[in-house]
């Protein structure tokens, strides 16, 4: 089997400790081409959930990665996106369903006993904001302001991304929401969007595959966001992929359009 090589300049911070969550995880940081040469240039940052799936097949779920490093590298070289730093934050297995769920709810995988999630996405967001982001901003040449800071994920990580964007729009404003688990806790995400007063300054990429169970819910979410003031093609981009299933391989194909929408080249 060919050995996967990471593309570009990727740093690994092992066992990054969180006092907020009381645990630790690996964090991978992709630095764009030219990062070393331009000693004063600062870059926007995209934080991504399920970090072991983002760059490396060796650490990813079922050996399938998103290839975000290859895609970003290619798009930056072709000047199709603004050069950016990508921070892939690993999940820690059993805790994932607690840390990514915006509200408490019941997890019902087939054939398993009912198990509850504690719904800690707001606490997980505090870990990102109070602990990880200050570390990244200090160690790397970032543009730390909210307008340059993104968040992304798929499935429960997609749901967490949209919820954290709503909770913390003063920190994250560019969101990649792939195949979000809208069914969670009786469609809690609709309630979260529903309580928004003034529309926050979030630019959202939202997608789904028509081969996913309940994919139509993502279309309803798009419509609800439009009702709340988001404008398609301006601060909301929605994609339905015919026949695409709920998998790492499907999400990998959507990294390019998502990055192109959220991080267009600066004129």
Q: Has residue 2 been placed in a domain?
A: no
Residue 85: give its domain's CATH number: 3.40.50.1820
More confident residue, 112 or 25: 25
Q: What is the rounded distance in angstroms from the CA atom of residue 59 to the CA atom of residue 126?
A: 26
Q: Has residue 3 been placed in a domain?
A: no
Pair 222, 236: CB distance under 8 Å:
yes
Q: In terms of residue numbers, what domain contains 125?
A: 9-262
Q: Has residue 1 been placed in a domain?
A: no
Q: Has residue 144 been placed in a domain?
A: yes
pTM over 0.95: no
Q: Has residue 267 been placed in a domain?
A: no
Tally of domains in the chain: 1
Which tens digits make up the pLDDT trace of 89-133?
999 988 999 999 999 988 765 555 566 889 999 999 999 999 999
Q: Where are the alpha helices (DSSP H) in the chain?
A: 68-77, 96-99, 121-126, 133-139, 156-167, 184-194, 216-227, 248-252, 255-262
Q: Has residue 4 been placed in a domain?
A: no
Q: Has residue 231 been placed in a domain?
A: yes
Residues 6 or more apart whose Cβ sits within 8 Å of residue 6: 55, 56, 69
Which tens digits make up the pLDDT trace of 193-251?
999 989 999 999 999 999 999 999 999 999 999 999 999 999 999 999 999 999 999 99
**Short-list 139, 140, 136, 170, CA closest to 48:** 136
Which tens digits make up the pLDDT trace of 133-187?
999 999 999 999 999 999 999 999 999 999 999 999 999 999 999 999 999 999 9
């Amino acid at each position: 089997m060919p050995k996967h090589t990471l593309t570009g300049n990727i740093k690994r911070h092992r066992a990054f400790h969180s006092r907020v969550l009381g645990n630790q995880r690996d964090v991978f940081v992709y630095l764009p081409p030219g990062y070393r040469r331009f000693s004063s240039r600062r870059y926007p940052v995209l934080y991504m959930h399920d970090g072991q799936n983002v760059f490396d097949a060796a650490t990813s779920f079922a050996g399938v990665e998103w290839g975000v490093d290859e895609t970003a590298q290619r798009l930056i070289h072709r000047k199709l996106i603004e050069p950016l730093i990508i921070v892939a934050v690993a999940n820690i297995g059993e805790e994932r369903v607690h840390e990514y769920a915006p509200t408490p709810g019941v997890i019902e995988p087939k054939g398993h006993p009912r198990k509850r999630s504690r719904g800690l996405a707001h606490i997980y967001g505090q870990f990102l904001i109070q602990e990880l982001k200050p570390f990244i901003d200090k160690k790397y040449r970032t543009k730390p302001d909210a307008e340059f800071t993104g968040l992304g994920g798929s499935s429960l990580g997609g749901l967490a991304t949209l919820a954290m964007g709503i909770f913390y729009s003063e920190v994250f404003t560019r969101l990649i929401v792939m195949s979000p688990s809208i069914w969670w806790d009786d469609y809690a995400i609709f309630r979260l969007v529903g309580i928004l007063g003034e529309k926050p300054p979030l630019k959202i990429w939202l997608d789904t595959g028509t081969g996913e169970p309940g994919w139509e819910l993502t279309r309803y979410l798009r419509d609800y966001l439009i009702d709340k003031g988001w404008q398609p093609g301006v601060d909301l981009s929605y994609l339905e992929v015919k026949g695409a299933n709920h998998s790492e391989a499907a999400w990998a194909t959507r990294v390019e359009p998502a990055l192109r929408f959220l991080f267009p080249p600066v004129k």
